[in-house]
């Protein structure tokens, strides 16, 4: 799930400033400095998806517990799971913008570490293997 989420975020990372092709063609990642943003709308959607997923799990657990209490085998078959549109998660705009900035900084740090790994390998392109190599230590650095 974390790899899918990071792929989604990196894929949605839009470049606002991009250096001319001539400065990027220097090899070894020379001149690839740019300003990037992550859309607050994307962050809002990610929060909403996670919220809906949690609500579905909670409803399924409640239905299973209710089925167990009624003595029905198999947890009631899930017939009591809520139907209809899920509730919209309300988050203040400032919180979404701040969250987008935190995610942007995390992605920038992750990409920077992966780029350093690629340069150590003598490559001028960052691929999934470089990201996979730095991701465990990156997560440990921010886990506390």
pLDDT of the chain, 144 residues: tens digit per residue: 444 444 545 554 434 333 343 344 444 445 555 667 889 999 999 999 999 999 999 999 998 888 777 665 554 444 444 556 668 888 999 999 999 999 999 999 999 999 999 999 999 899 999 999 999 999 999 887
| Residue 7 located in a structural domain | no
What phi, psi does 15 have (nearest 5°)? -90, 120
Range(s) of the domain holding residue 59? 36-88
Is residue 29, in this structure, part of any structural domain at all?
no
Instruction: Look at residue 132 and tell me if it is in a domain.
Output: yes
Cβ–Cβ contacts within 10 Å for residue 20, how many?
8
Helices 93-120 and 40-69, interaxial angle, to 10°? Answer: 100
Question: What does the radius of gyration of the chain's CA atoms come to, in whole angstroms?
Answer: 21
What is the rounded CA–CA span in Å between residue 116 and residue 38?
22
Q: How many domains does the chain have?
A: 2
Residue 23 is assigned to a structural domain of this protein: no
Bridge partners of 14, per DSSP, are: 37
């Amino acid at each position: 799930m974390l790899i899918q989420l990071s792929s989604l975020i990196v894929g949605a990372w839009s470049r606002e400033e991009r250096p001319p092709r001539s400065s990027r063609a220097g090899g070894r990642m020379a001149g690839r400095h740019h300003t990037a943003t992550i859309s607050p709308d994307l962050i809002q959607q990610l929060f909403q998806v996670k919220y809906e997923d949690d609500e579905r799990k909670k409803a399924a657990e409640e239905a299973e517990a209710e089925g167990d209490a009624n003595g029905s085998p198999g947890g009631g078959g899930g017939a009591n799971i809520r139907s209809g549109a899920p509730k919209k998660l309300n988050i203040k705009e400032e919180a979404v913008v701040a969250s987008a900035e935190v995610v942007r900084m995390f992605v920038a740090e992750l990409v920077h570490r992966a780029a350093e790994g690629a340069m150590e390998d003598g490559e001028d392109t960052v691929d999934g293997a470089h990201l996979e190599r730095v991701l465990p230590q990156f997560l440990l650095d921010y886990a506390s």
